[in-house]
Structures are given as structure tokens and as C-alpha cells.
Structure 1
Amino acid sequence: MGWEVHTHMQRPRELRPPEGFAEFVAARSDALLRSAWLLTGDAGRAEDLLQTVLADVWRRWATIMAVGHPEAYLRKALFTTYASWWRRRWRNEIPSQPPDRSEYGDIAGESADRDAVRRALARLSRQQRAVVVLRYVEDLTVQRTAEVLGCSHNTVKVQAFRALRILRTDPNLELSATRRSRHDA
């Protein structure tokens, strides 16, 4: 009844990406990160959001591929995870250092324009923001947006209409457009 010493222990199995996963991520990660950034308005949170979703997708990749439409699944997971975080108010976390945003400087254009877009999108409801990002940034159809968000196409149309009405009157975007037109002249 003593301690037994095992001289041959099992090696942990090597974790390899499922077939096609690495290629999919390499091809779509920039667009997905841009969507995550537009949803969260923060580069660090965007990376966290995308990594969380990719970890979930990694575990289910074979099933997702068997059903088909992996990008649709991933986008829906991105938006539902964002909504879940929003409900839990992860915004209460305070980083020890501000993130270096220069790495993402080209995601939404110049710094002032990027901030204007972020502030304008922050005025929208969670669902309106998701619709705007899918329809006008990712260029999905109304029907495809409805599929990704799990709602009717009428809901997408109504949310897009309301969001655009808010964005058209947003002073942040008006200032950004004025600044750009002066620069172009």
C-alpha cells in the first residue's frame, strides 16, 4: 500500500488544428477582427472576442464543416458572444495599461475617423450595431444578415432603418465628413 511510481507516463496528445481550420482562419481573420472591432469599439476586446469564438469553433470544427457554411456559423458566434459579453458588462474591466492601438490604425481609416465611427456605433443598440456591421461593412444581404443573427428579414430592415436614421444625424460623423471634404479640396 505505498506510492507506486510509474516510469512510463502517457504523453499528452498533440493538439493540431482540425483539417481546414488554419486555412480558414488565415483567409478570414482580418475581416472577422474588423467586425469584432466595429462591434466592441476596442482593439483589445476585439481580439478577445475573436479568440473566444475561434476557440469554440476549433472544438466543433468537424461538426461545423459537416453542416457547411463555417463562416456563417463563426459570424453568428461572433455576434452572439458579443451580445453575451455586453449583457455581462465586461466593460467594468480596467486594463493595467492602455492598449497600443497603432497596430489597428488602418482598420477604420485615420485616427479621427476611427474614433468618430466608434462613437457613432456606440450610440446604436446592440442589435442595430450588429445589423450595420453585417449589412454595410461585411456587405451581406438582408436575408444573409437575418440568418447570421437568427432573426427575420423584416427585423433586419427595421433595425437598419433605425440605425441609419441615428447615424445620419450623428454629429461625430458629420464632423468627420466635413474634415475629410476640406482635406480633399
Structure 2
Amino acid sequence: MVVAVHADFEAWVAAHEAALLRFGYLLTGNAQAAEEAVQAALTTAYVNWERISEADHPDRYVRRMIANAHISRWRRWDQRVTPVAEVRRAEAPDLAGTVAERDAIWHVCRALPPRQRAVVVLRFYEDLDHAEIAALLGIGESSVRSALHRALASMRTALSQEDAT
């Protein structure tokens, strides 16, 4: 009997989940709060599904449960938002500068010889250690360290020349 109730509940949720989430969003005005209210209601509904499924309109019943879950959350003192006199905004990061810096680094990296570029990408993008890079490229660890050293020196020089101009 429990398996049949479980399957019946799963089928009902699959058919009504999107509508319940929309209702929750319209009720709360927030996607996360809507998901929490729907989850709380469905958790309770699962336990009482035999009784709820016998009602004339189970979806109305569950919607009421969602509304009650939202109201209960709102009423809890620790969940209330207390307005402050002044909101201090942190300085926005310089996204344009960050993008320009990354673009310059990638431009310099693309100019490297293939082996050096591969070593730099595997070391700093894929976060592999020297032994893993050596095994992947089929070269010795000392060759990896040497290629990485040369690549970084070349990149520093190229980037300092770009900064000068």
C-alpha cells in the first residue's frame, strides 16, 4: 500500500510541480523562498497523501499548504528583515579591468610556442603538477619545469612591454 501511495504522490507531483512553483513564486516574489515553501508543503503532503488525495481538489489543498508554509516562515521572528538606517555599498569590482587583463594574458599565451603554451595551460588552467604534465605530454619533468620557466619569463617580458606602451 505504501508503494502505491508513493507512486501516486510522485505522479501527482510530476504533473503539478511547475504550477506549484509558479504559485509559490507569485506568492513569495522570490524563487528561493518559493522553492522552500513548495518543498515544505510537499513534505507534509507526502506524509498525509492518503487523506489529501481523497479530497475533491488535492491541488487546492496543497496550494493552501504552500501559502501556510510561506506565512509560517514569514512570521518567524528570526527570518524577519530589519531595515537599517543606511546601506553601505561595497565598491564594485573593476570588471572591465579584469577582462582586459585576462585578455592580455591570453593574447601573450597564444603567442608562445606550442609546448610552452601547453605546459602553461596544463599547469595554471588545469592545475596539474609537473609529473602529471610530463606524463601527459610524454616529456621529462625537467623539460616541463624548463618550458614553464621559459614561458613565464617570456610572458612577463611581453606583458611588461604591453604595460609600457
- TM-score calculated relative to the size of structure 1: 0.38
Bigger relative contact order (CA 8 A; separation at least 6): 1
- TM-score calculated relative to the size of structure 2: 0.43
- The structure with the largest helix share of the pair is 2
